[in-house]
Structure 1
Amino acid sequence: LHHMSVRKETHDDNLLHNSSSSGDVDTLQQVLNSGRVRIDCCDSEGTTALMLASAQGHFCCVRILVEAGADVNIRRKSGTTALFFAAEEGHLEIACFLLQSGFDVVTNGGMALFIAAQGNYITIVKTFLEVGCDPNYSMSDGSHSLFVAAQNGHLEVVKILLQNGADDGATPLWISCQMGHASIVRELLLWGANVDEARKDGATPLFKASHKGHTAVVEELLEFDPCLGLLANGETALHAACLFGHQEIAKMLIRAGADVQLPNQVRKKTIVNCISWCFGVCQRARVLLIYASVGQKYKLSIFIIRSVAGETPLQLAEQLGYDSIINLLSKFIQPAKTVSKETIL
């Protein structure tokens, strides 16, 4: 509960906060009847008794405090309110009561909606939107409710937010691709998200999904005709798939028309990148044999390409002692032929 303190300056203040936090209705009523406490007294972070009761789900205490004059709109230093804490823990009854008790949704509702979306509390999200909480409220770090719902894979919340005008640019699509939430990726694309929207580093949703190995996400993205060519970051999605050994994704990209011979920005071929990276990982270098069993699009062959250091993949494998890869490469290399750097047989 965000380290909310219950220690106050006076004994009665402590009783007020402790009873609200624990749900001790009798003690709470006695303290309030004594007239010796300020009902909205708070700790150094701005925590009130109403916030504590709301966070812990003690509806009776919440009602007693509100009826006794507790301010439902007080915010902690962090900006959080009693409604925020009720929403964070999924306390629907308390959330509705606070809304009915004069809570200012225009000023304070956006943050509560964000935390409800993060927690996948569908009914609370619907309720907040119905009373006017801003679906495009931006948190201090710039994130929106749609982003956090997409990040956590909350499909129904994403749908509800989209239906209510949520719009956070390409960020939700990008994070969904990174996290592997294929159904959310599809939903966002159907609502008009730009399939090729890139981050500042030039990476597109397809590039990130290919890098992470999210096959189902790549499949969804390919239905919306993404760019398969060179991106602003100097790479392609096929480079990303090969670099990290994602064979099925590489096959899918080739079927969709990715150019297996398109060099990246540093003039290394896709297959060379795959080998040089995967050698240091494990036998995933088998991805280099995406030799076009892909729909008969390419002739079965293997590329003999010299690296920047003048070494072929086979020579590099021999130096590193990867016996299984040596055996694999040897089956496809014809030793009688040699080629110079960047030449393809």
Structure 2
Amino acid sequence: MPQRLQALLSAGGDVDYTDEDGWTALHYAAMVGSPQGDLNLWTRGPGCFPLSLAANSGKQATVAMLALETGIRLDQVDAHNRTALHKAALRGHSSCVRSLIDAGADANACDSLNNAGYALSMAIESGSLATVEAMLCAPRIIIHYMDRYDRTPLHQASAHKGDIYCKIVAALLKAGSHVNATDGDGDAALHNAVSYSTESTVATFLAAPDVDLFLKNEAGMTVLDVAVRGMDLGVLKLILKKCKRFGKESVHGETALGGATTGLWVEGCEALGEAGAPLRVSHLDKVSAQREDFLKDSRPDLRLVKTRGEMGLKYDQMVHYLESQVTERSNPKMPC
């Protein structure tokens, strides 16, 4: 027992006496590891109650001791309906999470503050693989819940960069997350990964046996279309190793190859061409027409580059590439 608390008790101090913030000696003891007094006493301070304070601070020994005390309310909530488990998960304190789950804390409790205020979501946001794995080991854990935008925990993890999130995605998939579940925009988690994450995360999704590469979102885009729009050559090549269907246009009437040509992405066109996507004269005609419009426009759209000269060079490079590849006219009605 810490010396300060021992001195307080020896002097006959009231352990349940509260200060102006509603804190008792136990609240302070929870910060250093010694439980005494009313285990569930409410406080207006940021920790709210001793178990929550200890969990928020990562005091695993104190959490384990308090969680096993007779009369403790493991799922006591603060003003935002957050439990000790929420706070431990958000901070990435995996050992505290395991202690709380072992003691019977509700892994599926939801707070009232966040869009998807479950402890699993908070563990994902913490970026701690050990904490996510601890949550996934909870009995009866729900991993298919959706937020108000119909995004699942897998969607949440797929929108982050970094090797640790690649491992978190793998852990969620191993636990049984639905790889093809779509959000309110029709995006599967793989759409998110292609847009926001890394090659390693995309590769993890592609290794899932039931992943649907031809699933279209509300904009009619497959992950191949999204990869072309993002102009990430490494991600595009990963998808092309598994995807061999190229002629399906999106709701915008454009194929992935058409998107690469009108986006003036020569490297993307080369990768698609090498994978077997059919280059047609219609692609050349479309880009040539765009180039003519650009040359006539006194105030062209320069979002892709810094200067008019750079844009002109990109048009020249794309036209030259297409001229070197296209050898015969195809049906002009075929989609680009």
- Structure 1 distance, partners of 2:201, 2:77, is 33
Q: How far is 1:172 from its partner? A: 0.8
- Contact residue 245 and residue 274 of structure 1 kept, 8 A: no
Given the two structures, how large is their TM-score scaled by the length of structure 1? 0.67
**Which whole-Å deviations, capped at 9, do the CAs of 1:146-200 have from their partners, x for residues lacking one?**
1122221412221221122101525210001101522222322332222122221
- Structure 1 distance, partners of 2:102, 2:244, is 48
Q: How far is 1:103 from its partner? A: 1.0
Structure 1: unaligned runs, 5 residues or longer? 1-8, 301-345
- Contact residue 261 and residue 318 of structure 2 kept, 8 A: no
Question: Which residue of 63, 73, 98 corresponds with 2:100?
Answer: 98
Q: How far is 1:284 from its partner? A: 4.3
Q: How far is 1:64 from its partner? A: 5.0
- Contact residue 265 and residue 318 of structure 2 kept, 8 A: no
Describe the SS at the equivalent of 1:23.
helix
- Structure 2 distance, partners of 1:94, 1:161, is 20
Describe the SS at the equivalent of 2:220.
coil
Query: Is it true that 1:142 corresponds to 2:150 in the alignment?
Result: yes
Query: Is it true that 1:198 corresponds to 2:198 in the alignment?
Result: no
Question: Which residue of 304, 313, 334 corresponds with 1:286?
Answer: 313
Match of 2:6 in 1: none
Matches within 5 A, 1:7-156: 11=19, 14-16=22-24, 19-20=27-28, 23-25=31-33, 29=36, 32=37, 39-43=40-44, 47-66=48-67, 67=69, 69-76=71-78, 78-105=80-107, 107=109, 111-132=118-139, 133-153=141-161, 154-156=165-167
Query: Is it true that 1:236 corresponds to 2:255 in the alignment?
Result: yes
**Which whole-Å deviations, capped at 9, do the CAs of 1:296-342 have from their partners, x for residues lacking one?**
64359xxxxxxxxxxxxxxxxxxxxxxxxxxxxxxxxxxxxxxxxxx
CA distance 1:40–1:244, change in 2 (3 Å): farther
- Structure 2 distance, partners of 1:18, 1:258, is 72
Match of 2:202 in 1: 185
- Contact residue 39 and residue 65 of structure 1 kept, 8 A: no
Matches within 5 A, 1:243-258: 243-256=262-275, 257-258=277-278
CA distance 1:58–1:130, change in 2 (3 Å): closer
Match of 1:161 in 2: 172
Q: How far is 1:96 from its partner? A: 1.4
Given the two structures, how large is their TM-score scaled by the length of structure 2? 0.69
- Structure 2 distance, partners of 1:286, 1:18, is 71
CA distance 1:40–1:141, change in 2 (3 Å): farther
CA distance 1:38–1:158, change in 2 (3 Å): closer
Aligned length: 281
1:215 is matched by which residue type in structure 2? L
